[in-house]
Amino acid sequence: MEVARQSFLVLSSSTLIEVAADWASIEPRHLAQALDGQSIDAELLTWLEQRSGELRALAAGPHPQVSGLIDAHLNTAIDLITQDRYTAEAGRRLHAVAADLAHCAAWLRFDADRHADAQRHWQAAVHAAHQAGDRDLAAVALSDLAYQATWLSRPADAVRVLEHARSRTRTPAARSLLDVRRARACAVLQDRQGTQHALTSAETELERVRARDTPPVVSWMSMADVNADAGRCWLDLGDPGRADAAIGEGLDELDPRRSRTRAVFLTYRAEGLLHNRDASAAAADARAALDTALDSGAARCVDLVFALIRRLDNRTEQPMVELREYARERLLG
């Protein structure tokens, strides 16, 4: 499955890192130099901005129809941009809308295992955010590309992208997110010192967060995310006991609306419990992860759970046997 996923990637390692390096070193062009000063409908622009925020909120939940709505609004924003009939300020706002919608669209494609398409939309989000002057949104979109790289077993690429992305962030919440994702990549690379440094930095940055200064793209970032991601790091570094405690703390604090995140970390905790030889608890977490993933409709999360269950085919404990039977029923049902 991993080979099939990676074969559809469109950005090579060098190209992916070049996208990040260009953003980190080049200031956006002045929109006023390229625009002819004509105005678009201000009411339509305000409406698009409002809908963008609403669609971002809907995209976090199990709403399969939202993908088409996001694409339609994104296409409208792109059409308005290509017409070049607006003031510099209106152009900045249009690019901000396009960046926000492209970012949402990328995540929905990533969750659907459409990795090449997700990359294209994250790259578009970086470009549009750059033109809008929104450094945090551009950095977060780059960090999403890095997270995808780690997910697809390219952690070294992730580290290099994150180095560029963090260089121009403006808010602690964005830096905390980038630090967590660096920790994840370092853990896969078996860099214990780098992992610990990144996690410590993530916590420090999160302590500096003030709600009024936090951009919407990272408004969800919390200690629940730091703890749960730290747990995955400790699991990769061969410390399942520490991983179980951290993931458990993160799951306890996680916003219940974030079902895809919950499914992923329940799967990770189940994996850790297997290392701790607790078959009953591992099976319970795997079952909960499967239910949550299927309810969320995210193929990426469903694949993750089924990959874990497939690795249990040779386990004969009763909880494992019952888990496999349950998974077959859900798959057929």
Tell me if 109 is assigned to some domain: yes
Q: What is the phi/psi pair of residue 225, to 5°?
A: -70, -40
Tell me if 1 is assigned to some domain: no
Cα angle, residue 218 at apex, residues 177 and 149 outer, rounded to 5°: 45
Tell me if 14 is assigned to some domain: no
Instruction: Retrieve residue 146's tokens.
Output: 């890095």
Q: How many CB atoms lie within 10 A of CB 15?
A: 12
Q: Specify the amino acid at residue 112.
A: A
Predicted TM-score of the model (pTM): 0.85
pLDDT, averaged per 10 consecutive residues of the chain (333 residues), comes to 39 58 50 45 85 85 79 89 84 94 94 93 95 94 96 95 92 96 98 98 93 86 95 96 95 92 96 90 96 92 94 88 92 71
Tell me if 269 is assigned to some domain: no
Tell me if 74 is assigned to some domain: yes
Tell me if 189 is assigned to some domain: no
> CB of 109 within 8 A of CB of 139?
no
Burial class (CB in 10 A: 0-12, 13-18, 19+), 90: buried
| Domain residue limits at 112 | 29-132
List of residues 6+ apart from 54 with CB closer than 8 A: none
Q: What is the pLDDT of residues 279-300, one digit of tens each?
A: 999 999 999 999 999 998 899 9
pLDDT for the residue 276: 81
Tell me if 185 is assigned to some domain: no
Domain count across the chain:
1
Q: Specify the amino acid at residue 256.
A: P
79 to each of 12, 265, 276, how far by Cα in Å?
29, 39, 55
Tell me if 59 is assigned to some domain: yes
Residue 321 and residue 324: Cα distance in Å, rounded?
5
Q: Specify the amino acid at residue 124.
A: A
Residue 20 and residue 146: Cα distance in Å, rounded?
10
pLDDT for the residue 82: 86
99: closest CA among 131, 72, 69?
131
